[in-house]
Amino acid sequence: MDEYQKHAVMRMLAYIEEHLDDPITQRELASVATYSPWHAQRLFKDATGCTPFSYLRSRRLASAAHVLGTSKKSIVDVALEFVFDSHEGFTRAFTKQFGMTPSAFRKALAAYHQKSALTTLSEGETRMETVFVQVVQRPERKAVVKFAHKATHYFAYCEEVGCDVWDTLGSIDGALFEPIGMWMPENLRKLGTSEYLQGVEVPLSFTGPIPEGFDIITLPSCSMMVFQGPPFDEEQFENAINTLWELMKTYDPTLYGYQFADEDGPRFQLAPMGYRGYIEARPVRPVNKA
């Protein structure tokens, strides 16, 4: 795909984002792209991996989920706001994307925000006592992933695609390791997919079934610098994550003879578990390697 075609897809993505609560026709998208409707749709799918209207529906549902979690609007009003014809149709589409009904999602998100607020009020200052740092090698491998379109962190990802992705990934036979949350560098992302996503690494030879709505991608071989913080009380998980992040911002990898190389692969996090401390890894390469 040349630069002109890439920009055509980017114009379609921007148009969709600006008109999530308006009816959008295939002809309108084609006009924005300055291609025929057929050619515009083909370019969009080649660049993003999905059709324009699959992408549009996913974005509308994600935006609807955000409204459900941050307002008191009725479910039917949210459905109509995002151009769904009926409460029933909205509920079916929402449940398929998030694994729960809109009302169940609203309750789950409210419970999380309440817990988060209580944690924030009760947490004291945490001092990072001991951080274990090591460099590990990741070979070229595949990953079964669930893409989002706008998420930059875990909670935004949950609001966009649901919070049950981790359990699905954990059930995949043949996985190399446990599921991870990944921040994908721009050079490894498809157009229209988000920075943050969740996945599980599998061998290059993996031929197992892929859950509906998931994709499989190839990750390049790379070196990863792994940071592991001290154990923490479960209710202090956010503080443990933020404290390790602050340390990583100032850490000098040349102490190990490496430099950070974020374009070499995805930075990733493991599920925060108090008994083992919070664990995150970032791509690196030797300082004497171009």
pLDDT in tens, 142-167: 999 999 999 999 989 988 988 889 99
CATH architecture for segment(s) 132-286: Alpha-Beta Barrel (3.20)
**247-278 residue pLDDT tens:** 899 899 987 789 999 999 999 999 999 988 99
- Cα–Cα distance measured from residue 229 to residue 93, given in angstroms and rounded to the nearest whole number: 40
* The pLDDT of residue 44: 93
Asked if residues 176 and 203 have their Cβ atoms less than 8 Å apart, the reply is yes
| pLDDT tens profile 180-231 | 999 999 999 989 999 999 999 999 999 999 999 999 999 999 999 999 998 8
Q: How far apart are CA 55 and CA 190, in angstroms?
A: 13
Contact 219, 138 (CB under 8 A): yes
Torsion of CA 272, 238, 98, 159, to 10 degrees: -150
Q: Which residues contact 104 (CB under 8 A, 6 or more apart)?
A: none
Q: Is the dihedral of CA 52, 1, 192, 48 positive or negative?
A: positive
- pLDDT cut 90: percent of the chain above it: 61
Confidence of residue 111 (pLDDT cuts 50, 70, 90): low
Name the residue ranges covered by the structural domains of the chain: 3-109, 132-286
Can you state the angle between helices 87-98 and 102-122, rounded to 10 degrees? Answer: 50
pTM of the model: 0.75
For residue 126, the model assigns a pLDDT of: 44
CATH number for the region 3-109 comes to 1.10.10.60
